[in-house]
């Protein structure tokens, strides 16, 4: 994407209609890494062609995997029988922190993993201490240089792992390392996000023995080997959230037949408290939102699943800017995830920040402005605000948008919005619709 690309959003009529969902980014990234636990060809379907997924594919290639990505069909084939390396360079790690999720599988496969330190990002320091100290409990020794981590384990051994915080990444990394570690590994206070569940499902399909018990306990019995799989990635609850909020902020009505409502309870509860009508399909599959014309303010704090997802905090805040009354949003998962506030203020939002709390006084109108996306979910918040704002909004920093979403701009446009990815201010040339120009069918051969 050209450096000076931006997204132009116009004030839009009601966002309305029905839409399919793409696979969940935060499920497919870890599932691709988990394929390192197998030797052979796996096939994943419903795979989004977002930039983070392309980055994870690149990581697999640098380790020696053979990759075929049919982006238009969202089908990914990866052959890991040719994987011979365990080194993840800074070029990959700096671009995407989720690369750390290769550590567990590489340790299980080779007893070795050399990875560049991921470093922080806009939303927080993002340390990996929970990963490292618990790998040490499984017999891993670390040699840490300025910017590299060299992990070695003659033999991984099982253990009872207690997480002081239900970290998604640490839970996933330990599960993957434990699947091929003889004996019983138990994770206490584990993360149980739907994406973690999806990973466990895929590992079970590979032949892993994993049980989940209350409260938040995952028990892994190591097996000798795991085999390749064919698997469909779960629909993205964060894309679903974005589309429902687009209808909410424009007074429209959207149906998402594939959405897994049972994994979005607290978020949907808050939308109902605002006055929006939410209709859930049979067995909790399928969501329709019919927006109220008089949305009310609501308050919430983010929390690990099943609490209110931090990844929907900023998009929800955009909608609350136009709700009647005062909303209080408290971000408890990441220490610096309110950067979108100053961009929403540029659009006329009345928001005060006190530590990790945002106090939002609803306003009648927002106004188009030039705004900057600071992270993936902030980019979504600004696009949503642009749909409701008077006039035009120009959003830069769109590498965040393309990292987390594939084709969401087109979906919003198909539902009646005006969201365009443009090359640069000067010639405002349209340059999107990946399927026509970019990643139609990508055959990526091994390096």
Q: How far is the CB of 306 from ligand EPZ (least distance, A)?
A: 12
What residues form DSSP beta bridges with 220? 185, 210
Choosing from 121, 321, 380, 422, the catalytic residue is 121
Task: Name the nearest CA neighbour of 397 among 379, 384, 421, 423.
Answer: 379
Whether 206 contacts 227, CB under 8 Å: yes
Q: How far is the CB of 178 from ligand EPZ (least distance, A)?
A: 17
Q: Which is nearer to ligand EPZ, 177 or 322 (CB)?
A: 177
Q: Which is nearer to ligand EPZ, 169 or 251 (CB)?
A: 169
Among the candidate windows 123-131, 179-187, 225-233, 344-352, which touches ligand EPZ by CB under 6 A? 123-131
Site string for ligand EPZ, 126-155 (x = CB under 6 A): xxxxxx------------------------
Q: Which is nearer to ligand EPZ, 300 or 334 (CB)?
A: 334
The yes-or-no answer on residue 121 being catalytic is yes
Q: Please state, in angstroms and as integers, the Cα–Cα distance from residue 14 to each residue in 93, 206, 241, 267, 272, following that order.
A: 40, 45, 16, 21, 18
Q: Which residue is nearest to ligand EPZ (CB)?
A: 169
From candidates 106, 377, 383, 408, binder to ligand EPZ by CB under 6 A:
377
Q: Which is nearer to ligand EPZ, 8 or 161 (CB)?
A: 161
Q: Which is nearer to ligand EPZ, 66 or 375 (CB)?
A: 375
Task: Calculate the dihedral angle through the C-alpha atoms of 37, 39, 45, 50, rounding to the nearest 10 degrees.
Answer: 60
Q: How far is the CB of 9 from ligand EPZ (least distance, A)?
A: 20
Extended strands (E) in 247-391: 253-260, 277-280, 285-290, 300-301, 326-330, 350-354, 357-361, 370-372
From candidates 190, 333, 412, 422, binder to ligand EPZ by CB under 6 A:
333
Q: How far is the CB of 310 from ligand EPZ (least distance, A)?
A: 5
Both tokens of 392, joined, read 């035009």
Residues 6 or more apart whose Cβ sits within 8 Å of residue 376? 311, 400, 401, 403, 404, 405
Whether 421 contacts 4, CB under 8 Å: no
Q: Under rule CB under 6 A, which residues in 18-57 are in contact with ligand EPZ?
A: 26, 29
Whether 409 contacts 432, CB under 8 Å: yes
From candidates 376, 389, 398, 415, binder to ligand EPZ by CB under 6 A:
376
Q: How far is the CB of 197 from ligand EPZ (least distance, A)?
A: 13
Q: How far is the CB of 280 from ligand EPZ (least distance, A)?
A: 23
Residues 6 or more apart whose Cβ sits within 8 Å of residue 395? 6, 7, 9, 370, 371, 372, 373, 379, 382, 383, 386, 401
Q: Which residue has the tokens 């600071």?
A: 374
| CA 358 to chain centroid | 23
Number of residues that bind ligand EPZ (CB under 6 A): 25
Indicate whether 310 belongs to the interface with ligand EPZ (CB under 6 A): yes
Indicate whether 314 belongs to the interface with ligand EPZ (CB under 6 A): no
Q: Say how far apart CA 23 and CA 27 lie, in whole Å.
A: 8
Residue 19: count of CB within 10 angstroms of its CB: 21
Q: Under rule CB under 6 A, which residues in 162-221 are in contact with ligand EPZ?
A: 165, 167-170, 191, 193, 195
Q: How far is the CB of 191 from ligand EPZ (least distance, A)?
A: 6
Whether 184 contacts 160, CB under 8 Å: no
Instruction: Give me the residues that bind ligand EPZ (CB under 6 A), please.
Output: 26, 29, 98, 124, 126-131, 165, 167-170, 191, 193, 195, 310-311, 333-334, 376-377, 404
Residues with a catalytic annotation lie at 121
């Amino acid at each position: 994407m050209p450096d000076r690309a931006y997204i132009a959003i116009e004030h839009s009529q009601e966002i309305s209609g029905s839409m399919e969902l793409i696979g969940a980014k935060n499920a497919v990234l870890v599932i691709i890494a988990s394929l390192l636990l197998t030797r052979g060809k796996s096939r994943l379907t419903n795979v989004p062609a977002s930039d983070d997924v392309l980055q994870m594919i690149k990581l697999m290639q640098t380790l020696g995997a053979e990759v075929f990505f049919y982006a238009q069909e969202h089908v990914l084939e990866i052959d890991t029988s040719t994987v011979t390396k365990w080194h993840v360079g800074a070029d990959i790690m700096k671009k995407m922190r989720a690369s750390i999720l290769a550590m567990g599988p590489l340790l299980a496969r080779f007893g070795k993993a050399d990875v560049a330190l991921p470093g922080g990002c806009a939303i927080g320091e993002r340390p990996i201490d929970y990963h490292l100290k618990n790998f040490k409990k499984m017999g891993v020794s670390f040699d840490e240089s300025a910017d590299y981590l060299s992990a070695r384990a003659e033999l991984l051994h099982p253990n009872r792992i207690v997480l002081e915080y239900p970290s998604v990444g640490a839970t996933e990394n330990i599960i993957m390392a434990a699947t091929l570690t003889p004996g019983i590994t138990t994770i206490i206070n584990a993360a149980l996000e739907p994406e973690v569940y999806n990973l466990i499902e895929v590992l079970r399909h590979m032949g892993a023995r994993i049980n989940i018990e209350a409260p938040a306990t995952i028990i892994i019995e190591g097996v000798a080997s795991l085999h390749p799989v064919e698997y469909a990635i779960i629909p993205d609850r964060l894309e679903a959230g974005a589309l429902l909020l687009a209808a909410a902020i424009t007074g429209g009505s959207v149906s998402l037949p594939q959405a897994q409502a049972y994994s979005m309870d607290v978020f949907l509860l808050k939308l109902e408290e605002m006055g929006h009508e939410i209709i859930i399909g049979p067995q909790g599959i399928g969501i329709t939102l019919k927006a109220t014309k008089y949305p009310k303010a609501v308050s919430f704090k983010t929390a690990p699943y099943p609490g209110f997802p931090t990844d929907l905090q900023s998009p929800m805040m955009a909608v609350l800017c136009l709700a009647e009354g005062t909303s209080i949003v408290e971000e408890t998962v990441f220490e610096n995830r309110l950067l979108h506030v100053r961009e929403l203020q540029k659009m006329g939002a009345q928001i005060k920040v006190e530590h990790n709390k945002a106090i939002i006084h609803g306003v009648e109108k927002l106004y188009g402005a030039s705004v900057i996306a600071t992270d993936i979910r902030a980019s979504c918040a600004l696009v949503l605000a642009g749909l409701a704002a008077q006039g035009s909004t120009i959003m830069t920093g769109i590498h965040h948008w393309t990292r987390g979403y594939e084709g969401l701009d087109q979906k919003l446009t198909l539902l009646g919005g005006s969201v365009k990815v443009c090359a640069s201010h000067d010639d405002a040339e349209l340059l999107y619709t990946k399927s026509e120009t970019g990643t139609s069918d990508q055959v990526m051969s091994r390096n």
